Amino acid sequence: MTDHAFELVANAQCRVLLLGSFPGARSLREQQYYANPRNQFWQLLSPVIGVDLVPLGYADRLATLLAHRIGLWDVVATARRTGSLDSALRDIAPRDLQAVAAGLPDLRAMGFNGATAFKIGQRQLGQSPAIKCLLLPSSSPAHTVGLAAKAEQWRQLASYLGKTP
């Protein structure tokens, strides 16, 4: 069975677009980006914007991201996968990242949540993208680097938002 990723969460004021690979099993069930509480996405992003996203409801999390000029999407539109590991992705249909970037006039950077998202995204963007592409350590619980080490690299997003990390 082929699963479908979620709609783009962005507006014309977005300066950063965060891109995952494809929603995990729990996210697909709940129809929410990063629904697995073991995924560190919301924890990693909180210090970047200075708002604790973890206790917020999902709609408030998304509204807060947009208020801080951050968009959210995945690089894969459809795929087949058993479980949640990127290594299990099959029959991938990528998104058109160039078209989305062209529609976001204030976009300064794309942050790729993990190596798989980065690899697929780079294929879509080509050799010389007009905006900065950042490979971020995956927020997935399968990526066992400690939270502090991941957070250090995620803090670089603040500079593209006009914030001091």
Residues known to be catalytic: 39
Could you tell me the two tokens for 85? 């590991």
Residues 6+ apart with CB under 8 A from 89: 21, 22, 76, 79, 80, 81, 116
What H or E segment, with its residue span, contains residue 33? none
Instruction: Return the closest-CA partner of residue 113 out of 94, 133, 132, 127.
Output: 133
CB 37 within 8 A of CB 152: no
